[in-house]
Structure 1
Amino acid sequence: MRDVTKQYGRGPAAVRALDGVGLDIPPGTFTAVMGPSGSGKSTLLHCAAGLDRPTSGSVLLGGTELADLGEAKLTVLRRHRIGFVFQAFNLLPSLTVEQNITLPLRLDNRPADPAWLRQIVQQVGLTGRLGRWPSQLSGGQQQRVAIARALVTRPEVVFADEPTGALDPDTAEDVLALLRRAVTDLHQTVVMVTHDPQAAAHTDHAVFLADGRIVDGMRAPDADRVREVMTTLRRTA
């Protein structure tokens, strides 16, 4: 991201959600995006993932400038090169686990690679559950399905928006360990919005937003140091 600004509305009532954000995400890394409520975290994620267009500035995936793409080409890029994990899982209740996982491929008229599908299913701990319905799964298992769905297209980057926000602490820890393994074992790139210092401790790098700007960064974050930064940001918000 290069000098990215996102503004909603015009005139005195305009809200600037991002204000000159510059950010590089190296391949094969796990990055946490953090900040107080209203700091611009989700807007940053949506602009980086091509779900929303910045008002100004540049967003590049590899060498591709997203602003140069029309909606049809942007949709194709998201299907092929980007995975997204939502807090609310967003599984289709009328599809089985396997059908939910392979949905992005079927929407793109592509067959699933059986070996890759088996590897993902094994990595996320869903072996033996492919024929079940989402209603037959726990919240943690549903989030595992969502992560497998994000990985099945072999994307260049996976964006995760508060992926553990709806989970209990033990289940959240399992899901974070799974995302960590996706980076370490599958060489995936993951960018995760979170408010949880414990979640950030699983990542390689944390960036902190306040009022739409990146105000701090931390390599190899640990929960205590992240908590201190977040406390300071909340006091000054």
Structure 2
Amino acid sequence: MRSWGQQPDGPADGRYAVQLTDVTKRYGDGPSAVLALDKVGAGIAPGTFTAVMGPSGSGKSTFLHCAAGLDRPTLGVVRLGAQDLSALKERRLTELRRTHIGFVFQAFNLLPSLTVEQNITLPLRLAGRQVDEGWFDHIVKAVDLGDRLARFPAQLSGGQQQRVAIARALVTRPEVIFADEPTGALDPETARDILGLLRQAVTDLHQTVVMVTHDPVAAAHTDQALFLSAGHLVDALAEPSADRVADVMAGLRRAA
């Protein structure tokens, strides 16, 4: 039986950008153990925008952390392209996260003592890589930060700080960008702009984006929505609309 999120025949080249196979994540031992994910399977094709949704406590943040190599599953396999993340030692996994994965978080996670330009290029410096000036200029133009590169995060609005975080996620040309509630701290108009940028990263820059969100309007910007409930992947929608997502979420809340 195919996993949620996978097309019946899979991607044309047979390789998913991210694939979870029978992933289980358990925290703790004995009767107090918490089963956050239970034999979850999902495949996310390259160049797509996916929303991961579910009620509070459904396992969506654990899904993202395991998929991004921030946490190791108790059982099962997580692959980034052809690479089995569970087979990597911690140092190699850290190197892979720096060079092949981009992150965008609700809290922005910018370093206040660094300028916008320094924050954007930080992943490259940590990886010991040179800045590709052409690519840097391209993404700075895409996120409309060209006149703010010398400023510090405290001099920016929340939306501008999230634009910096998106540019930082793009600068290494990652295989996948993982976004954890990237619009949760923003007003609706600014959130719409940020979602448009993530959509643009997929459509124009050919990135793969996986976004955890609770917002049906945010999910409507994606190519597919995956729904978790009590650690199980229970439903999926292709080309989701806000109304259809809201209906599924309401059903999951009633069931819970």
Deviations 1:186-223 (A, max 9, x none): 00000000000000000000000000011000000000
Match among 64, 75, 79 for residue 60 of structure 1: 79
How many angstroms does 1:184 deviate by? 0.2
Tell me what 1:224 maps to: 243
1:3 — aligned with what?
A: 22
Secondary structure in 2 aligned to 1:206? strand
Residue-by-residue CA offset, 1:119-138 (whole Å, 9 max, x unaligned): 00000111111000000100
Q: 1:95 aligns with which of 114, 123, 128?
A: 114
| Percent of aligned pairs with the same amino acid | 73
* Deviation of 1:83 (Å): 0.4
1:25 aligns with 2:44: yes
Structure 1 residue runs of 5 or longer lacking an equivalent are: none
Q: Residues 146-185 of structure 1, C-alpha deviation per residue, up to 9 Å, x if partnerless? A: 0000000000000000000000000000000000000000
* Equivalent residue number for residue 79 of structure 1: 98
Q: Residues of 1 paired with 2:241 and 2:94: CA distance?
A: 36
Paired with 1:193 and 1:76, the residues of 2 have a C-alpha distance of: 24
SS of equivalent residue, structure 1 residue 179 = helix
The alpha carbon displacement at 1:109 in A equals 1.2
Aligned to 1:206: 225
Q: Measure, in 1, the Cα distance between the counterparts of 2:247 and 2:144.
A: 34
Could you tell me which residue of structure 2 aligns to residue 35 of structure 1? 54
Q: List aligned pairs for 1:168-183, cutoff 5 A.
A: 168-183=187-202
Q: Aligned partners of 1:11 and 1:220: how far apart in 2?
A: 41
The 2-side partners of 1:174 and 1:4 are apart by 34
TM-score (norm 2): 0.92
SS of 1:22's partner is strand
* C-alpha distance in 1 between matches for 2:103 and 2:200: 17
TM-score (norm 1): 0.99
Superposition deviation, residue 25 in structure 1: 0.4
- How many aligned residue pairs are there? 237
Aligned to 2:237, the other structure's residue is in SS state strand
**What is residue 111 of structure 1 aligned with on the other side?**
130
Partner Cα separation in structure 2 for residue 205 and residue 29 of structure 1: 8
Query: Structure 1 residue runs of 4+, over 6 Å off?
Result: none
Report the equivalent of 1:51.
70
RMSD: 0.4
Query: What is the correspondence of 1:142-161 to structure 2 with a 5 Å cutoff?
Result: 142-161=161-180
Secondary structure of the 1:110 match is coil
